[in-house]
Amino acid sequence: MSFVIGSALLFCPADRPERYLKAAERSDAVILDLEDAVAPDDKERARSEIKAQLGGKGNAPSLDPGRTIVRINPVGTDEFENDLQCLALTPYRTVMLAKTEDAQQLRALASYRVVALCETAAGVANAGSIAAEPNVVAMMWGAEDLLASLGGTSSRHSDGGYRSVALHARSSVLMAAGAAGKHAIDSVYLDIADLEGLALEASDAVASGFGSKACIHPSQVAVVRAAYAPSDADVLEARRLLAAAAAAGSGVFRFNGRMIDGPILKHAEATLQRTVCH
């Protein structure tokens, strides 16, 4: 079964089954979280909830496996092994590996599609080799765990902008994903009420090359989708530019006062591709 990663992914605590379907309906893909969103004493119950929602004729899941990611606990923990035992009884075969730190860890998940979440110093440093693993379908980065792994206290300045170390990690994971031809997912925006700040960050994610942005609240989904959906003016400009390129043949040409070459045409193609996705 293939898995299509859309622009707006929504985390849902795995111990809150009453939210599963709502989260799936409001996003492009739902991330059932067995890691940070679930307290240690509730993890076994969360796994039970994932298994319990499998029902109906033929044991069909209530969630679409093609739009469901399960965030599992880090490799080397007892919870990781318990998570795998749970997943073996489900049709879900796309996982997000929390605190991915090296390529070797991905080989324990050879039968799964993996979203590698690089959120420690080791994970960011090894992002290139992690992205190159064949079962990795996407790369994501995380800011707060990263700063904690460095002994820091906050990933952002008081104005909401990222500190330089977080920006370095963001760029490193994006570059690693791009070099390996993998999908890149931008990290969450924790200030739920600040939709304007989210819109600016999501727009930057689009312009930078991230294919998706993760959300922690349903209200954020529409903002992220709006950032990824090109405007009518953008679409018209892209179509005119590509038509002009076809008429010009090969090589550099002039369009609306600008010199146009290959990379600019790829930007236009990316704009039209986002139209298809939305």
Q: How far is CA 143 from the centre of its chain?
A: 13
39 φψ region: left (φ > 0), alpha (ψ -120 to 50), beta (else): beta
Q: Which residues, at least 6 apart from 2, have a Cβ–Cβ distance to it below 8 Å? A: 66
Q: Which residue in this structure is represented by tokens 């500190």? A: 163
H/E stretch holding 11: strand 8-13
Query: In whole angstroms, what is the distance from residue 268 CA to residue 170 CA?
Result: 24
First to last CA, the chain: 22
The annotation places the binding site at 71, 119, 145
Quick one: CA dihedral 166, 201, 190, 183, positive or negative?
Answer: negative
The annotation places the binding site for Mg(2+) at 119, 145
The annotation places the binding site for substrate at 71, 119
